[in-house]
Amino acid sequence: MEKTSTLQYQRDEHRVHLIVYHLIWCPRRRKAILTGPIKERCQQILEEKCLEKGWSILTLAIQPDHIHLFIRVWPSESAADVVKELKGITSFHLRREFAPIMKKMPSTWTRSYFASTADAVSAETIQHYINAQKGI
């Protein structure tokens, strides 16, 4: 999934902001389970949660053994909060909907993740990196 968006500062009542994160996380034991219907459902869950929270997905690349997410969020939300929300909601739904596959794993995601902030200059670099991971 790729969405094009110019990264411009947003303004609201008391702030001007541009908060963009590059996030990566993996399934437990780096198992390559994010394929087929699990991948599609995971993408759908991520998109729905981001829409609900008012976050903009700039790029989402789901590989069999990890997820890359380039996302724009509100200043009040840390990378840790975003990852916690997204890992939690996807784990809940995937474990319930794909129980035969997921019950073989003690948990869906590892406890670790990668997070990096980005600005308008590095945004293009991150886009190229994620596209390279997708094979584009």
Structural domain boundaries in the chain: 16-133
User: In the CATH scheme, what is the code of domain 16-133?
Assistant: 3.30.70.1290
pLDDT average, residue stretch 74-91: 96
In the chain, count of helices (H) and strands (E)?
4, 6
Plot region of 30 (φ>0 → left; ψ -120 to 50 → alpha; else → beta): left
Using the predicted structure, report yes or no on whether residue 1 has a pLDDT greater than 50.
no
Please state, as a whole number, how many other Cβ atoms lie within 10 Å of the Cβ of residue 136. Answer: 9
Report residue 11's pLDDT band, with 50, 70 and 90 as the boundaries: confident
pLDDT value for 4: 41
Q: What is the pLDDT of residue 3?
A: 45
**pTM over the 0.85 mark:** no
pLDDT tens for each residue of 34-79: 999 999 999 999 999 999 999 999 999 999 999 999 999 999 999 9
CA-CA-CA-CA torsion for 29, 31, 37, 43, nearest 10 degrees?
Answer: 60
